[in-house]
Amino acid sequence: MYLFLYLPLVVVVAYSFNQSRLGAEWTGFTLHWYQVLFADAEMMRAAWNSLVIGLVASVSATVFGTLAGLALHKFRLRLLPVLIVTPLAIPDILWGVSLLVFFVLLNLTLGMLSVILAHVAFCISYVAVVIRARLSGMDESLVEAARDLGATAWGSFRFVTLPLMAPGIIAGALLAFTMSIDDFVITFFTAGVGTTTLPLKIYTMIKVTVTPEINAVSTLLMVLTMLLVLAIARLSPQIPSGKP
């Protein structure tokens, strides 16, 4: 089953180094397609857009998501958990269509801004869930101990809660960045005409013809995503959370 899952990926990586233009048979190793890729101005612009959107969206979503995660942990609210978790279950296509209609209603011109807003919206939930998981693993008496030893409410947050939350915040930010840079469906609906991200660019190229250049860009995207996922996994259990 895993073979079935990963074999196509391996094929894409392998053929990104293939000399043949048509891709069917192996004719020799080359880095030619990577050179083509980096010389492709449109592709580079799409990559730049993806990067900007990913960074702005993940940073904003991390701020809001962290606050939401703190609220989820601190107050035993009824509605907020539902509001936070539901977006994770809503299909992307629904997100895409509803955000598009919403932006049109607001008379917002579709472009970078609308894509960023859309990405922030769906990334908040991921960050909030990661933060809450991190906080629920924390010994409650640590905050009380800080107060008891002379820290104010702010001081106990600054010196105890925040440092213990930090790995969760970083993991949440990386997760949001991964979600943003890989997103196709929601971006497709909210990008408008002028703005192209990497996944959108790949899609339009594939409609014309499959060139090894697509294999090359897919390989790079895959490597980036894997590195991020690895970083998230490494961060999660690394620093002890203080449970006795």
Partner 1 sequence: MALLEIRHVTKRFGGLAAVSDASLEIQPGEFFTLLGPSGCGKTTLLRMIAGFDVPDAGQILLDGVDLAATPPERRPFHTVFQSYALFPHMTVADNIAFPLRMAKVDERKLAARVAAALGEVRLQDMGTRYPNALSGGQKQRVALARALIDRPRLLLLDEPLAALDLKLREQMQSELISLQKDVGITFVYVTHDQGEALALSHRIAVMNEGRVSQIGTPDEVYEFPANRFVADFIGTCNLLDARVMALDGERVTLNVAGLGTVRAWSSRPCQQGDRGVLALRPEKIQLDRAPSSGGEASHFLGTIRGQMYLGDVTVYKVEIGNAVLVEALLPNSTARGARLFAPGDQIYLSWGYDAGRFIHDG
8-12 contacts, C-beta under 8 A, 24 or more apart: 9/222, 12/215, 12/218, 12/219, 12/222
Concatenated DSSP letters for 157-176? Answer: IIIIIHHHHHHHHHHHHHHH
Number of residues in contact with partner 1 under rule CB under 8 A: 22
The span from the CA of 37 to the CA of 219, in Å, is 12
CB of 157 to partner 1, least distance (A): 13
Query: Taking a C-beta distance cutoff of 8 angstroms, is the pair 126, 84 a contact?
Result: no
How distant is the alpha carbon of residue 194 from its chain centre? 22
Binding mask 222-241 for partner 1 (x = CB under 8 A): -----------------xxx
The span from the CA of 211 to the CA of 164, in Å, is 47
42 vs 140 by CB, closer to partner 1:
140
Does the protein bind partner 1 through residue 36 (CB under 8 A)?
Answer: no
- Residues with Cβ within 8 Å of 4's Cβ and at least 6 positions away in sequence, in order, are none
CB of 235 to partner 1, least distance (A): 14
The span from the CA of 171 to the CA of 230, in Å, is 10
Does the protein bind partner 1 through residue 8 (CB under 8 A)?
Answer: no
42 vs 139 by CB, closer to partner 1:
139
Does the protein bind partner 1 through residue 133 (CB under 8 A)?
Answer: no
CB of 164 to partner 1, least distance (A): 6
Does the protein bind partner 1 through residue 70 (CB under 8 A)?
Answer: no
CB of 161 to partner 1, least distance (A): 11
Query: Residue type at 12?
Result: V
Does the protein bind partner 1 through residue 27 (CB under 8 A)?
Answer: no
| Ranges within 101-130 binding partner 1 (CB under 8 A) | none
SS3 content of the chain, % helix, strand, coil (to 5): 75, 0, 25
50 vs 241 by CB, closer to partner 1:
241
CA neighbours within 13 Å on the CB side: how many for 139?
Answer: 11
Does the protein bind partner 1 through residue 42 (CB under 8 A)?
Answer: no
Query: Taking a C-beta distance cutoff of 8 angstroms, is the pair 195, 112 a contact?
Result: yes
CB of 238 to partner 1, least distance (A): 11
CB of 39 to partner 1, least distance (A): 47
Binding mask 144-183 for partner 1 (x = CB under 8 A): xxxxxxxxx--x---xx--xx-------------------
Binding site for partner 1 (CB under 8 A): 139, 141-142, 144-152, 155, 159-160, 163-164, 239-242, 244
